[in-house]
Amino acid sequence: MRKVILITGVSSGFGKETSELLSRAGHKVYGTTRKETGYQGSVSILQMDLMDPESIKKTVADVIEKEGRIDILINNAGMHTGGPVETSPLDHLKLQMDTNFLGTVILTREVLPYMRKQAGGRIINFSSIGGLMGLPFQGYYSAAKFAIEGFSE
């Protein structure tokens, strides 16, 4: 059965490969990126910034308007800064938490009412080994990933 899938962070890495694989399997895939990428594939690209709740709201509304549902949400997007916590700027902590954790929470909260209304759906949250154990010089990153693990549980 063809699913409508919304996946974040498809400009590279796991997001790009996953979105293309799902699209080739026959699903309708909407992938998000922060910036224009010039992508020319079968995934429908939407610009969305996880640090902007209005951008999130608009993206979800666009998919619902076009498809009438979202069957699967894959929270994949994320970013990383590293360094010792005692000298890394607090702005890096805010960036990590806003992008990796709060963006996931806000997007999930935006999609849940539609999944509830359609009586089903699946949410997949990508994390990292850094969410299961602290990594040297990656305290902020690990904290954000631990938060995703707790939220997902």
By annotation, the residues acting in catalysis are 11, 127, 141, 145
CA torsion, points 62, 68, 70, 76, in degrees to nearest 10? -10
Q: How far is CA 103 from CA 3, 74, 137, in A?
A: 23, 12, 23
Which residues lie below 8 Å from residue 34, measured CB to CB, with a gap of 6+? 11, 47, 48, 49, 50
Crossing angle, helix 53-67 and helix 103-117, to 10 degrees? Answer: 30
